[in-house]
Amino acid sequence: FAHGELFMLGAYVGTTVLVTTGSFWLALLVASVTIALLGAALQITTLRPLVGRDPLTTILATFGISLVLQNYALWQYGPVARKIQEPITSQFQFFHIQFPWYRIVIAILSAAIIGALWLFLKYGKYGIWIRATTQDRLMASAMGIPVPLVHTAVFAIGSAMAAASGVLFGPLVGVNHAMGLDWILKAFIVVVVGGMGNLGGSILASL
């Protein structure tokens, strides 16, 4: 549940950096790094002690984190939605329809990130660690893989991707304290339709 609020906080951090520096791409980088660190901290302090317990306990913990982050955003940024300025405002004509180039950029960036993630998980040393830990945590630990570190790294990577998505989609949907709920529900639908643990299926379902 918490990733929806990390998506939302990433959008807010991006908005703040953009207003301060005027650079959308710097805002994207800062938001990703900041929320990755926040995600790692949440995993270490809240979720790591719950590893091996009833999955319902973890679900309730992440739901609690989600409520805390959502109310923090409401307190910090207020209830009024904000808009992130698109870095690319030009459009092109497709038949009789004006289509913004920014949406094409988002599609290309999303495809590049997904491709890089797939290659990392498939062929990278640490990607293999992640897959091994997912399949059998105890066996991975017996083989010398630092399972707690892998869990933290995975949560940090997921948090960074959520934050980057929040910044990239901010110009299209606006930024408000409740935006994470809508996106996390969509993510659950994609995961269920695509298959739990099936990256390729989730990609196809998201289309």
Task: Give mean pLDDT, residues 153-173.
Answer: 90
Angle at 54 between CA 10 and CA 159, to 5 degrees: 15
User: What pLDDT score was predicted for residue 62?
Assistant: 85
Residue 205 above 70 pLDDT?
A: no
What H or E segment, with its residue span, contains residue 77? helix 55-77
Total-model pTM? 0.85
C-alpha triplet 161, 67, 69: angle, nearest 5°: 50
User: Is 146 in a helix, a strand, or coil?
Assistant: coil
CA 154 to chain centre: 11
Q: Which two tokens stand for residue 107?
A: 């599609």
- Mean pLDDT taken over the chain: 85
Q: What is the pLDDT of residues 145-155, one digit of tens each?
A: 898 999 999 99
Q: What is the pLDDT of residue 207?
A: 62
The per-residue pLDDT for range 109-134, each reduced to its tens digit, is: 888 888 888 888 888 888 888 888 88
Q: φ and ψ at 91, to 5 degrees?
A: -130, 165
pLDDT at 192 over 80: no
